[in-house]
Amino acid sequence: MILQDKVALVTGGTTGIGRATAIAYAQQQAKVVGRRMDEGEETVRLIQEAGGEAIFVQADVTKEADVKAMVDKAVSVFGRLDIAFNNAGTVGENPSLIEQTEVEYEHIMNVNVKGVWLSMKYEIAQMLKQGSGAIVNMASALGVVALPNILLYTASKHAVVGLTKAAALQYAKAGIRINVVAPGSIKTDMFEAATDEVKAYLAGLHPIGRVGTPLEVANAVLFLSSDMASFVTGETLMIDGGYLAQ
């Protein structure tokens, strides 16, 4: 098992990509710490069925005290923190730029950027004490390219990519690897709620001819979290069915 006895923290770990990753971690014998209690019980059950251990801590990633308490809880229960997947995020309403409000801007940037920054702040502080660690942040294909009708989300994910690269360079010699995944369209609850026309449009954007699955993203996160990626840091891993290549 590639994560035997490792302790992994997942934000946004109770649905979609986060849940798939939490279960993938557990299947590799990692101990999992999650952020949300509401769907947490079901995820805990799935993790236990996968042979793992898990706890969930109620936390708002935009609030520094909550993030600190979440990391402290992981360390107090399991003794250390080896891996973090900073996955919590939001898309927002995203109308045209001139119709967007300051409230909408602050909401998207706070969750998608500030949340990743705060999470890394306390994750890295703990990993520095241990002399090792692996962090994976969640961006998007729209952290590398852009679409005209999703401005703030695009800006926030570009910021996550830049933040990841800079942090990776800052802590490379400290034994902490920091990478980012950039998925294309993925078959999450939000995708399933779309109309058939929208689903077909999204599938058609990808040269591979379909959207991805949460497990396909989870497998990439698992790789970056493990020693199999021991010489990989500051990398943006596209999981996009060829979207960027075109």
- Which tens digits make up the pLDDT trace of 130-141? 999 999 999 999
Q: Domain residues for 108?
A: 7-238
| 155 CB-side CA count, 13 A | 15
In this prediction, residue 129 carries a pLDDT of: 98
Catalytic member of 122, 153, 171, 243: 153
Q: Read off the pLDDT of each residue in 152-160 and give the average, rounded to a whole number.
A: 97
In-domain check, residue 80: yes
In-domain check, residue 125: yes
Residue 36 pLDDT > 90: no
Query: Judging by DSSP bridges, how do beta strands 236-239 and 176-183 pair with one another?
Result: parallel
Report the domain count for the chain. Answer: 1
In-domain check, residue 24: yes
In-domain check, residue 1: no
**What does residue 137 show for φ and ψ, rounded to 5 degrees?**
-100, 150
243 is catalytic: no
Locate 42 and state its tokens. 């079901």
In this prediction, residue 80 carries a pLDDT of: 97
Q: Which CATH number covers residue 224?
A: 3.40.50.720
Q: Please, is 49 exposed, middle or buried when counting C-beta atoms within 10 Å of its C-beta (0-12, 13-18, 19+)? A: exposed
Residue 50 pLDDT > 90: no
In-domain check, residue 246: no
In-domain check, residue 46: yes
In-domain check, residue 243: no
Q: Structure pTM?
A: 0.95
In-domain check, residue 195: yes
Q: Read off the pLDDT of each residue in 192-212 and give the average, rounded to a whole number.
A: 93
Mean pLDDT over all residues of the chain?
93
